[in-house]
Structure 1
């Protein structure tokens, strides 16, 4: 069932170039994925002078299949896990003929249309990689880039980091004991079912990508084994005939209300114990939600065999902690990603074990002028969050927003970070977790306060 947002609801296209105000701070945006273009649009319409550097030749980041920048984890069957209306930017709905959950190529086309609609494609420099970002003696930021014209350096007042957090593959640490005679790959390098054809495949992990790859393997591989060390509550994408995330809760409601909503969805979908998957040790809502319409069907059909965590590797077999084993000539490790900023020295930023607190998941309190976009793991979509973050940063750069006292910034940052971590079980994937509706409500409230402090009246 396609949703019914009309194209006429979109903001009028920007048909003339927006003048740049050279008196404003000059900014650099790293990346032209969904977060980078959200920020670029906001700075462009605010008249902020900026450059946006993209390592590849395409807009869209992780949503570009075979992205030339080499960092996309996009695979052939990938589709969004948040419905189109909840994922879309606020002033640019997805086309009305898109399905409830768009395919990766549709999402990529949407991002391309977004850039052209608002007219800022000329601000993006493609095939140019940011190699280093460092502080200058006067507190500005020196950025070294490498592109078709060679290596060059520019100095900026602000740097907006939007390089994504689903590209630096996390492998099991420490590695499992034993030896393996077959092929091993991380889910980041999986592209399509041809890589699984006729193989004895073991997929390791319980996230969305792990289930997608397992389902595809069940159609293409000789045997498919799904190894789940820490089971999750697997939600369905549809509930009572509509996309299951269509209930938007007021952001001011306490977290337990969101937890109840997730619990209802989890209980309605049912656990996977009858298929051999252990019952999750945590309550519904205590982990990042995962969704699959097909994993139950393939387990029910016997096309997928569920097993617990791995004990060891044994030549052409994988041995599990319950003593069972499975044949394997391909292991796909869907074991997540590290937060990584290769252009920032660890003396400045060290996101060890993905534990990287930021004020409102955007501002580093000790590094003025350094901002982060999309560095969240939301119960919902990143795009509207990055859009709000970009608008907030634009207000800071134009002077329409003023921060509270540094001690309050730091206190709020630590309190929010501790609260978010308490709401979910301890895991690297949960260090950046936020509740979509609550986050947007809270940030809108802070932006309003900051505009009042600035005396802009906006």
Structure 2
């Protein structure tokens, strides 16, 4: 299990194919984005028989510009918000010539190289959509797929859900009063500054995408406004000449240590409320980090005007809570995403307001054999955590790991959920938050305990 992701030389390619062990449970991986690939590679190396189904024709998920699966929110200027060494899989560093914060096309190339390096591309079935996952006989699962060769139903012992949580756009609900004569898009449908050029643009939101789009609007739009209901602490990507996230803490430290690091980063970065955005009502570390190198210059130069929350829409204008109004012919709603599983019966699994409590953000105690990979929002990157989840699941399926009693699983799940609700302000954005280093440390500790339980049970 990875504990700390460090840059290094890539391992040599596998010397030969790895044959699955037919005596092991059979698994299904849904999705070939970053989390699905991490899970598939872990199963592959553990010789667990599996199928991976990808709706599109390429790997890489959200990092593929105009992904044929139709679900990617990737845009022209997108780059990672976690530095490469902290985002990369522990056993496959990003190329040494990549910048600290790689572009989306570099990240997509990295995922393709990862698949080919470990040799499991033939285990991925492309252009195939999983349409239904339901309970089968005994403890099995029935997976229905639709693809070029029609519809199929297959039986599996385990299903790993890795369909992502940045694809189902969440629009304002209820809708703002009034009517709007111009165009409205969600940030999920934004691709390039060409959509903003020469227009009167209002960007709504306070996350990374909102700031990126507002900065681009400030370069090419006739007017650019950034509307925020709640203020955020905006960190710089570089401080003191190095990537901000390169200060790594021991995983056993409690959350207050990570929060203190984020507060120092916010202090050194400077408060964007001084440039007109809302003053945050929470401390740094009580929300998911937001990073931007360009928003300060865009605001201080006047290219982007800070605005409070929207009060109503008025034809070809937008009216804000302070009574000000601006002409607008394009609103970009950077208002986040819903956590949904279109192939699962909501009566079986449903995330209420994006909240789906899971043990270690992976296991649903009521649904043995159903696992979730990458369904977390770390203070850091998802990829190493998805790798850790995939490796954990592989050990479960191989029988080398035994879980604690269900009552203990539920107790830990409730305690973790309660702690997270206490650490972050309540919003749909913070239902899956975890501390990157502490999560890896905690999962590694649990893996050791599960190995001990398995040995004791023999």
TM-score tier after normalising by the smaller chain length: over 0.9
- Deviations 1:221-251 (Å, cap 9, x if unpaired)? 1000000110100000001000000011111
Aligned to 1:242: 242
Q: Is the contact between residue 62 and residue 74 of structure 2 (CA under 8 Å) also seen in structure 1?
A: yes
Shift in Å, 1:5 = 3.8
- Deviations 1:260-281 (Å, cap 9, x if unpaired)? 1000110111112232112101
Q: Tell me which moved more, 273-282 or 21-30.
A: 273-282
Structure-1 separation of matches of 2:274 and 2:283: 18
Shift in Å, 1:456 = 8.7
Aligned to 1:413: 413
Shift in Å, 1:19 = 1.5
Distance 1:219 1:317, change over 3 A: same
Structure-2 separation of matches of 1:273 and 1:239: 19
Q: Is the contact between residue 78 and residue 103 of structure 1 (CA under 8 Å) also seen in structure 2?
A: yes
Aligned to 2:104: 104
Shift in Å, 1:138 = 1.5
Structure-1 separation of matches of 2:247 and 2:14: 32
- Helix, strand or coil: the match of 1:251? coil
Q: Is the contact between residue 141 and residue 155 of structure 1 (CA under 8 Å) also seen in structure 2?
A: yes
Q: Is the contact between residue 5 and residue 95 of structure 1 (CA under 8 Å) also seen in structure 2?
A: no
Structure-1 separation of matches of 2:278 and 2:31: 40
Aligned to 2:287: 287
Q: Which segments of 5 or more consecutive residues in structure 1 lack a partner in the other structure?
A: none
Q: How many residues align?
A: 453
Aligned to 1:439: 439
Aligned to 1:209: 209
Please tell me whether residue 54 in structure 1 is matched to residue 80 in structure 2. no
Shift in Å, 1:137 = 3.0
- Helix, strand or coil: the match of 2:52? strand
The equivalences for 1:90-129 within 5 A come to 90-129=90-129
The equivalences for 1:32-431 within 5 A come to 32-431=32-431
Structure 1 stretches of 4+ with a deviation exceeding 4 A read none
- Deviations 1:167-194 (Å, cap 9, x if unpaired)? 0000001000000000000000000011
- Helix, strand or coil: the match of 2:353? helix
Structure-2 separation of matches of 1:241 and 1:26: 48
Structure-1 separation of matches of 2:329 and 2:23: 61
TM-score scaled by structure 1?
0.98
Structure-2 separation of matches of 1:271 and 1:151: 54
Structure-1 separation of matches of 2:62 and 2:18: 28
Structure-2 separation of matches of 1:238 and 1:156: 46
- Helix, strand or coil: the match of 2:28? strand
RMSD: 1.2
- Deviations 1:328-387 (Å, cap 9, x if unpaired)? 000000000000000000111010101100000000000000000000010000000000
Q: Is the contact between residue 225 and residue 304 of structure 1 (CA under 8 Å) also seen in structure 2?
A: yes
Q: Is the contact between residue 400 and residue 456 of structure 1 (CA under 8 Å) also seen in structure 2?
A: no
